[in-house]
Amino acid sequence: MQVKLVKLVIWVVALWALAYPFVFMQAPVIELKEESSVVIKEPAVKVEQPLHTVVLPRFSEIKSTAKKKQQFFDFIKPHIIAENKDIMQQRASIEIALMMLQFGEALTPAQTDKLNVIYTHYRIKGERYSVASLSNALTHVDVIPKELALMQAANESAWGTSRFARIGLNFFGQWCYKKGCGMVPKRRDNEAEHEVAAFKSVRAAVKSYFRNINTHDAYTGLRAKRAELRANKQPIDATQLTAGLIAYSERGEAYVNELNDMIRHNKAYFDED
């Protein structure tokens, strides 16, 4: 009897040992998370606002190359033609004054006032209103062929699509050196301090470009070639002047060659005024 009882106890203990881990094993905790009502927004991309109020054609959206070129020329060309017209009027004032001095006639106060404005704008230094200084002034106060101005505008602004053209109306890649005068280039060296000039109107941008070409020492060669063509009564051909722009771009001669190619390939647009 005792033996049977002992066996029974042993069996009970064995069964309990087998069942123990399952009886007292902690059930896994399942967390029920409420669906979040918080919407995570992607950080907004900051859109750079124009520094002007001019409504520009959406050049980047024009798929046809021919239409894009035509719109670009139609947009820029009137300002270039107007600036050249103003320059020819200034030039006429200088030529009349020069002729009067050559014949020993005195200039009127109205003439000198007008010449003062011209000399200041073109940064003409030295003796004023002599035969020599007026002759020198004529090398500065002269036109830039529309073909050349248009091709530089197209080249420097990527046909009006560049950031500098869209935001600052800078179609000619002009720099300025006073803090806050324009836009800081995104790839500017840390040591550099220049900015890309910004303008309030297209005419102001064109006028600044003309003044730069007609006054900066880097373009003395261009002005000398233009004066030579004048003296020889030859047309002021754009491709005759491009060599004088070798300092306009870090690309140097490659830039000049590209301008000449662009002038040749876009002749059909130049003849339409």
Instruction: Report the DSSP beta bridge partners of residue 22.
Output: none
pLDDT tens digits for range 136-177? 999 999 999 999 999 999 999 999 999 999 999 999 999 888
Rounded mean pLDDT, 38-61: 76
Q: How far apart are CA 98 and CA 92, in angstroms?
A: 10
Structure tokens at 14: 């064995």
Reported confidence tier of residue 183, pLDDT bands at 50, 70, 90: confident
pLDDT of 86 over the 90 cut:
yes
pLDDT of 195 over the 50 cut:
yes
Reported confidence tier of residue 194, pLDDT bands at 50, 70, 90: confident
More confident residue, 68 or 49: 68
Kindly list the domain boundaries of the chain, sorted by start residue: 63-269
Q: Please enumerate in sequence order all residues whose Cβ is within 8 A of that of 41, keeping only pairs 6 or more positions apart, or say none.
A: none
Q: Whole-prediction pTM value?
A: 0.80
Using only the alpha carbons of the chain, give its radius of gyration. Answer: 38
